[in-house]
Amino acid sequence: MKQVLRLFCSWALAVALPIIVSIEAGARPRATQESTETAASHHAAGKEYLQAGRVQEALAEFSKAVRLDRNYLPSLLQIADLLSSSGQVFEAYGVLQHAVSIAPASAEVHSLLGRCFSRLEKPKEARQEFRRALELNPNLAEPDYGLAVMELRQGRLAEARHHIERFLQRAPGDESAKEVLARICFEMKDYDAALATYAQFEKADLARASIQKEMAHTLLAAGRYAEAEQAFLAVLEREPTDRDALRGLFDSRYKRGAYKEAIEAMEQIAKLEPRSCEPLLLLARAYRRLNQFPQAHQRAQRCLELEPDHAGAHFLMGWTWYSEGDLEKAKTELEQAVKSDPNSIEALCWLATVELRRGGAAAALRHLEKAVAVDPEYASARYALAQAYLAEHRPADAKKQFEEFRRLKSREAWESTASDDGSRSVRRAAPEAVDRGHLDDWTGFANYLLLENKPREALHILEEAQKIAPENTGVSLLTAAAYTETGEVDAALSAYADAENRGPTALLFLGRGTLYHRLGEDDQALADLRRALSMDLPARKAAHAHLLVGSILNQRKRRREAEAELRLAIALDPNNSSARLALAETLLELGKPADAAVECRRNLAENPKDASARLLLARALLDEKREADAADEITRASQLEGESGRVLLARGRLAAAQGLRRLAVDHLDRAGQTDPSQIEAFYLLGEELLESRRPSEAAVAFEKATILDPMNAQSWLELGKIYLGAKRAQAAVGYFQKAANAAPDSAEAHYQLAVAFVETAHLAEAGQAARRAKALGHPSADVLLKSLAARAPH
Amino acid sequence: MMATKMRKRRPAHGHLPTSIPCSLTMLGVIALWLGITAVRTPAENGPIQFADVTARAGLSGYHNLFGSPEKRYIIESTGNGAAWIDYDNDGCLDLFVLNGSTLERQQKGERGPGNRLYHNNCDGTFTDVTSGSGLEGGYWGSGVAAGDYDKDGFVDLYVTTILEGNHLYRNNGNGTFTDVTAKAGVGGGRHVSVSAAFFDYDRDGHLDLFVTNYVQFDRAYLDRVSPYCLWKGLRVFCGPNGVAGDSNVLYHNNGDGTFTDVTKAAGLQNPELKSLGVITADLDDDGWPDIYVASDSTINALYRNRANGTFEDVSLQSGAGYSQDGRAQSGMGVDAGDYDGDGRLDLFVTNFQDDYNTLYHNDGKLTFTDVTFAAKIGQVSFNHLGWGTGFEDFDNDGHLDIFVANGHVYPQVDAAHLPQETYAQRNQLLRNLGNGEFADVTGTAGDGMQVVKSSRGAAFGDFDNDGQIDVVVINIDNTLTLLHNTTRNRNHWLTLRTIGSRSNRDGIGARLRLRVDGRVEVREVKTCGSFASASDPRVHFGLGATRTIERLEVSWPSGTKQTFTNVPIDHFVVIDEEKGLRVER
C-alpha cells in the first residue's frame, strides 16, 4: 500500500504541480529577485496571497516553494489544505503521503490526512489520523472537529459531542462547529442543549434559512409545537415555497391539535406538487380528523385520479366510509386497497371489520388470517382475529391468538391513548418503598418511552428501576437500547455486557449486533447477529438480523451467502424494502439482472419515489441490454434527487454500454467529483479512459479506486497492465502483486505477475506465479511456463 | 319560570284523554299563559329538552374545589360525583354532592369545603341540610355509592376519597348519618379511590361493596423525577402512563354491620388496573351480577360472576376490554343498558379527547362488539373528553338515549387556542333513533345542554317526579348544574321502585322485563354506573305511545320471580318482593 501511495504521490506532484504553477493570476504583492528565491520566500508570499484571499496565486507560490525544496513541509501542508478544501481530495492525499514520509511526527499532516480520509468516506482511517494528530499535538483544533464529524457519522454521539466541545473551547466563534454541536445534540435527543447552542449564534447567522429551519425542526422534535410553528413561519416568510418548512409547519400544527391550520399548510404543498399523492392523503387524514368527510373523500379521490391503484387512497376512502356508516362503499374501497396492496395490514383489518358488521364472518376471518400472516406482530390484527375465532366458535384458535396478543401487548405495554402526540405521560411515579412487584410497570414504561423516541426520559426511569432491581436483564437491555439512541455507545456496550452476564438473550445479541454493525465492527456484529438468529426471535426482528448479516456478507463479497440471508429476511418480513433493495444489489453482482429487476419493481410498487430502487433497476435493465428502459429509470431517479453522484454514475454506465465514450468519461468524471467515495465511478472511468487510449488518466482513475478500496483486485490489475505497457515493469510487478493479494484465486492476476516478473528478469518468481496461474486455469499459463523452461539454464 | 308547577301527588290515572273540547283547550292555553297550569298540556313529540334550573332549585351555593387550578398532579383532575337518594323516604329524591380539597390543605391538615346534602322540598327546590347531617366531610371527597346495606329501609352512603380513606355512612333514619367506617372495616387505607358500587354479588340478601382505586400517588417522587409532561406541546401533569396502578377492592357484607375484604379470594386483585368507573350488572343473563370496570389506559376489566363467591377475568376475550382494534382507551365513566331492545345489557364507556366513547353491543355469553361507529357515536365524540354517563330514556320513546358529561383534564389546553379542544366543554346528548344508531341532538336540546363547564360526575334521577329523567352534573372547580328534563311529548312512562325482603332491600340486581307492544324492554335495578356517582334507584321505562303494558316480569336476586299485568302507565309503582305491586303515586 505504501509503495502504491508513494507512486501516487509522485504522480500527484508530477501532475498537479505543473497545473498549479501554470496558473498565474496577477502580480505578486512583493517583487523578489530570482537569485534570492527560496522556498521560504515563496511560502511567505503564498501566505500573503492567502491572507488577501487570492487562493490561486497562493497555491502557485506554495508550489514554487515545493519545487525548490520538495521536502518543504509548510508549503506541502498548505497545498494539501487548499487542494482538499477545493474538493481535490485525491490530489491532496498524494501530497500528504509525501509529507508524512518526511515528517511522520507532524500533527498537522495527520490532521489533514484525517480530513482526506473523511472526505473519502473512510471513517476508520480518518479517526486513526485525527487521533494520531491529537497525540502529537493535543492543542491542535482541527482534529477535534474532524473527530466530532466522524464520530457523529458512526453514531458515537457522546464522543462526537466531547470533541466538538473541545474544539469550541479553542474556537468559540466557529459557526460551523456550533452547527455541528447543535446537530449532535439533536441526534442525542438533547433538544434543550441543541436550542441553547442555536441561541449562541450570531444574529446574522441565525437569520440564515438553514439555521432557522434546523431550529424549527429541533423545536418540533422537542415537542414545543407552538414555537416550532412560529419558527417555520419565519422560514416561510423568506421562502414561501420551501417544502420542507411547509411540511414542518403542517407537522407542528397537527401535533398541537390545530388541524384546520395544519390543513392550510398541507394545501400549499398540494399546490406545489399537484401530481403527488402524499399531500393529498395527508389532507384526507386531516380532514377526517375534523370529521369533514366529504373533503377527506375529495382529497383521496384526487389521489386516485393521479394513481388509480393507490392502495393508501383506497384505504382512506374505505376507512372514511366506514366511519360514516356506509358499509357497502367501505367494503368496495377496502377491497380495492387490498387488491392494490395485498399486504396492507390496515386495509385487511378494516375490511375484516366491515365484513363482520355485514355478517360476513368467514370472509372476515380470511382477511384477518392474512393480516396476521403478513405481520405477525401487529397486535390489533391478533386481537381482531381472536374475536373472530370466538364468533366462529373456535375457542382453541381464539386462545392462541389471545396469547400472542398478550405477549405483544406486554412489549408495547404503554401504547398511548392519545392520538399522534401520544405523550400523555413521560415520567413515572413510584412509591418510595422498594416495590419489586411493579418492576414490570417500570420496564414496560421505559419500553414505551423508547417507542415514543424519548430515550433520555427512559434512562431516567431505568435509573430508578436499576435501584430496585440491579440484576434485572430486562432493565439492562432497555438501558442499552436507550444509550444506543442517545449515541452514548460505551455506556450502551457496558449495559449489554451487564445483560449478557446475567443471561444471554436473543434480543441482547440482536441489539448489540446492530450497534456493532453501525460502528463498523462487523466481526463482532456478525457473531452477535448469528447468535441472535440461533435463538428465538420474533419474525420482524429475525428479518432485521438477516438483513444485517446479508449486508456484512455483501461487503465481504460473499454474494451467494448474502443472497440467502436477504431472501430469509424478506420471507420473514415481506414489507422490508431495505432487504429487497439489498437483495436486488446482490443479484446484480451475481449476474441475475432479471431477478434483481423483479425485486426493484416490488419496492417501487410500494414507493415509486425510491430513487435507490430506480437506479438499481436501471442497472439491471442495462445488464439485460434494455438501454432505453434503463435511460427512463435514470431520468426518473434524476427527477427525484437531481444529478447526484450516483445518478451521474448510472448515466456514465449507460453511456459506456452505448459506446459513447466521451459522454461516459464526462459523466463518470463528474460522478467521481460529486461523490469521491464512489469506487465504481473511478473504476469505470479508468476502463473508459483505457478504451479511449488515455492510459495516464486511466491510471489516475484506477489509483483513486484502489485508495478507496485497497482490495479492488481489478483496479490493481489494470494499473499493472498500464505500467507494463509503459515499459515500467518493476512498477507493474508491484501492482500485480497487489492484485494477486486482493484476489488470490485470480488466474489473470498471477499470470500477469508472471509476465511482469519475466520483464524484470526475475525468472524464478515468474515461474512460481505462472504455475499458480496454471493451477487456477489460465489458458496461457502453460505456454509461459514452457517459454520459461526454455530459458532456464541447463 | 317553569311552565309546569311541580306536584307531589298525581291523580291515579294521570294520562290525559286524547281529544279535548275546544273550551278546555282555550282554558289550558290561558292557564299556560298565566303560568298556573294545573295539568301538563300534551304537545306534539318535541325534541329532548333540558333546562338549567340550578339557581332556581337553590343549588347555586355549592362550589366544587378539587386540587389546584393548574392541576399539577393527575389526582387533581378526576373530580367529584353526586348521588340521588331519598334519604328521608318522603318520595322525593334528595341530592348528596361530594366536594374535594387540595394537596396543600391535606398537608396542613386543613379541611376542605365539605360535602353537601340537599333536601328536596318536592316543589322544585332544595334546602341545604348538611349541617348536623353527619355528612359534612371536609376531607378530599371523590365518589359515592348508595344502598341500604343494613336493610333498615334507609339508604346509606359510601364515600370514597383521595388519599384519606373512604367512609361508610349509616343512615340513622332521622335525617342524620353516622360514620361507621371503622366498625364496618371498609376504610381501605390511603388510596386514590373513585367510583364504588353496592351490589349483592353472592345473592345472600345483603349489599356488598366494590371500590375502584385509580393510581398510586407519590408526590415527592413525581416532583423529583418529573415536574411536568408534554402533551401537544403543552406542559401538563404526568400520568396515567408511568404512574402505577392500584387494585380495586371487594368487600363482602357479613350481614352484621361489618364487611370483609374478599378481593383476593374472589379473584379480583389486579394492581395493574387504573380504575375510574364501575358497573355491576348481570351481563350474561345467568342471574348473577358481573362487574365491569372502566380503566384508564389499560384493559377495561370484565369479571364474570362464577356464582360461588369468585369471579373469572374474561376481560380480553369478552371484546369489551379494548377498542375494536385492540387498543386500550382511557375508560372513565360507564353504564349498562339495553339500547337496542334485544334483551341484553350493552355497555357504554367514556374516553379521552381525540378518541371515541365506546359502545359495546352485548352479543350474549359475555361477548361484546365495539359498534361505536356503526351506531354513529364515534365521530361525534372525538372532540370531547367524557366522564359521567348514563343510558336513560329521556324522551320516553322506549329507546335508551345516552348522556355524557364532558370536560378536559388539562386547564392548559386553553392556552393553545384550539377551537375543537377546550377545558370547559358542552355535555352531550345522543338520542337513540331506534335503529341501532344515535344522533347528537345537543345543539337543539335546550339551554341546559349549552352549559359549558369542565364536567365530571353525573347522576340521573327524576327529582321532580314528572316521569322524566333529570340530570345533575358536577363541574370541577365550579358550581354544579341541575338539568331539568322539560321535554314535551305525548310519550308515556312507568317508574318502578323495588323493595326487597329476601333480596337486598333496594332490590339492586333485580331484572325487570317489560313486555309492551310485542317488544321487551329490560332494565336492572342499580344505583352505580356513570362516574363517581349514584343515580336514582328507581327503574324508569319510556313507553312511547303505548297505552297498555302487556306484562311486567321481575326476577329478584333471591331467585323470586314475579309477573304482573295491568300495570298502570304514567305512574310511580312499587314492586315489593313479598307484597307485590302497588301504585305509589
Residue spans of alpha helices (H) in B235-326? 263-266, 315-318
Residue with cell 383489518: A349
Query: So what's the pLDDT on residue B548?
Result: 86
This prediction's pTM: 0.81
The predicted pLDDT at position A502 comes to 84
A398 touches chain B (CB under 8 A): yes
Contacts of B420 in chain A (CB under 8 A): 257, 259, 290
Predicted local confidence at residue A325, as pLDDT: 82
CB contact under 8 Å between A419 and B330, yes or no, is no
Contacts with B, A 250-269, CB within 8 Å: 252, 255-260
Listed in sequence order, the DSSP H helices in B148-231 are: 181-184, 219-225
**Distance of alpha carbon B529 from its chain centroid, rounded?**
5
Whether B3 has a pLDDT exceeding 50, the answer reads no
DSSP label at B416? G
Q: Which residue of A has its CA nearest to B234?
A: A224
> For residues B420 and A419, what is the distance between their CA atoms, to the nearest angstrom?
14
State the sign of the Cα–Cα–Cα–Cα dihedral A331, A332, A333, A339: positive
| β B561-564/B511-516 pair status | unpaired
pLDDT at A418: 28
pLDDT of residue B73 exceeding 50, the answer is yes
SS3 content of chain B, % helix, strand, coil (to 5): 10, 35, 55
Residue A105: Cβ-neighbour burial (10 angstroms; 0-12, 13-18, 19+)? exposed
- The whole-number pLDDT of residue A411 equals 59
Radius of gyration of chain A from Cα atoms?
Answer: 31
User: Residue for cell digits 485508495?
Assistant: A707
Q: How far apart are the first and last CA of chain B?
A: 25
Distance from CA of A286 to the nearest CA of B (A): 12
Could you give the ipTM of this predicted complex?
A: 0.83
Query: Over 50: is that where the pLDDT of B22 sits?
Result: no
Nearest chain B Cα distance for residue A292, angstroms? 10
Is residue B43's pLDDT more than 80? Answer: no
Residue B266's pLDDT band (cuts 50, 70, 90): very high
pLDDT surpasses 80 at B305: yes
- A164/A312 Cα distance (integer angstroms): 44
Rounded Cα–Cα distance for residues A629 and A636 (Å):
11
> From the candidates B224, B241, B246, B414, which should be mutated to test the interface with A, based on the most A CB atoms within 10 A?
B241
Average confidence (pLDDT) over B508-532: 95
Residues of B with Cβ-Cβ distance to A287 under 8 angstroms: none
With beta carbons less than 8 A apart as the criterion, state whether B230 and B275 touch: no
At A422, list the grid cell.
401520544
Nearest to B244 among A224, A380, A430 (CB): A430
Report which residue type is found at A618. A
CB-based contact B374 A325, cutoff 8 Å: yes
Q: A102 in contact with B at a CB cutoff of 8 Å?
A: no
pLDDT in tens, B24-40: 444 444 444 444 333 33
Q: What tens digit of pLDDT does each residue of B413-439 get?
A: 998 888 789 999 999 999 999 999 999
Percent share of chain B, pLDDT over 70: 92
Mean pLDDT on B459-465: 98
> Does the beta-carbon distance from A424 to B216 stay under 8 Å?
no
Contact A615, A647 (CB under 8 A): yes
User: Hey, are the CB atoms on A425 and B238 less than 8 Å from each other?
Assistant: yes
A-chain residues near B215 (CB < 8 A)? 429
Say what the pLDDT of residue A503 is.
84
Q: B58: buried, middle or exposed (CB in 10 Å: 19+, 13-18, 0-12)?
A: middle
**Could you report the per-residue pLDDT of B368-399, keeping only the tens digit for each?**
999 998 899 988 998 899 999 999 999 999 99
- In the predicted model, residues of chain A with pLDDT beneath 70 are 1-35, 202, 204-206, 410-438, 440-441, 793-794
Mutation for testing the A interface, residue in B103, B232, B270 having most A CBs under 10 Å: B232
**What's the whole-number average pLDDT of chain B?**
91
Over residues B46-71, the mean pLDDT reads 96
State residue A543's pLDDT score: 93
Residue A415: which of B216, B219, B327 has the nearest Cβ?
B327
